[in-house]
Amino acid sequence: MRFKYVLNEVLVGLWRNVTMTIAMIITMSVSLTMLGASVLMYMQVDQMKTYYYGEIQVSIFLREDVSEAQRTAINQAIDTDSLVASKTYETRAEAFEKFKVLWRDSPDFVKSVGPDSLPESFRVKLKDPEQYFEREWIRNLFLHAVDSLRERCDETNNRVRFQLFERYDLEESTEKVSYATLATEFGLTTSTVTNQLAAARRDFRKVLLEKLRQTTATDAEFQKLARELLGVDVK
């Protein structure tokens, strides 16, 4: 009896405020619809991200004058890269056959391209595209910083400083050149080489932080990336 009485009072209350009841039902329906649409959209975007990341492929095109030694070195570099999941080598003939299939609806265009017009290449699939993009972003950031440092050294008549920095810190070699060797090469004292390299590294750090700040949206992001890249806290 008590439940029946409560239910009857609820129905009477809803009937007396029918306009408010309808408004509440519409509001709840719209809210739930928007919530459901947002969840579905989030799930769809996540699925699309997973699919397209799985389809990402890096193409490394080789020049016409590439030597066998260079081709072998590139192949070994790809094989030893931890970000590479798989690779395939595509010859000029294979590239031309793919080209003909891709442009089969434009025969005149296909006839204008010869078998030797397309380069040979390596097609590389990545394990983690995000990690690859992050590495490339960092590499480009450092390259831009190096270019800016070169320009600044030229403008301030400190070209030797950059040359020492380039020779000692940027060049890749199996044996590290010594300060004494650099002093002999550039006709400087060892202490001058030491001071010039210290100044170049300090300038490079400053330029790199300037470039990093330009590419970050917040100070917190800047601090985080500076700590990851340079291992220091920047004030």
- DSSP readout, 62-86? PPTT--HHHHHHHHHHHHH-TTEEE
What is the pLDDT at residue 192?
95
Question: What pLDDT, in 10s, does the model give residues 10-59?
Answer: 666 666 666 766 777 788 888 888 877 777 777 776 666 565 555 677 88
What is the pLDDT at residue 110?
80
**Alpha-carbon distance 117 to 91, whole Å?**
12
Task: Write out the CATH class of domain 56-126.
Answer: alpha beta
Contact of 232 with 226, CB cutoff 8 Å: yes
CATH number of this structure's domain 132-230: 1.10.10
Question: What pLDDT, in 10s, does the model give residues 143-188?
Answer: 999 999 999 999 999 999 999 999 999 887 777 889 999 999 999 9
Distance of CA 6 to the CA centre of its chain: 63
Identify the H or E element spanning 89: strand 84-90
**Sheet containing 84-90, strands listed edge to edge, beginning at the edge strand earlier in sequence:** 57-61, 121-126, 84-90
Full-model pTM: 0.58
Other beta carbons within 10 Å of 203? 20
Contact of 210 with 217, CB cutoff 8 Å: no
Averaged over 74-89, what is the pLDDT? Answer: 88
Averaged over 64-91, what is the pLDDT? Answer: 88
Domain spans of the chain, in order of start: 2-53, 56-126, 132-230
At 67, give phi and psi (nearest 5°). -90, 165
C-alpha dihedral, 185 to 186 to 189 to 193, nearest 10°: -100
Alpha-helical regions (H) of 56-178: 68-80, 92-102, 107-111, 129-155, 159-165
Torsion 26-32-38-40 (CA) sign: negative
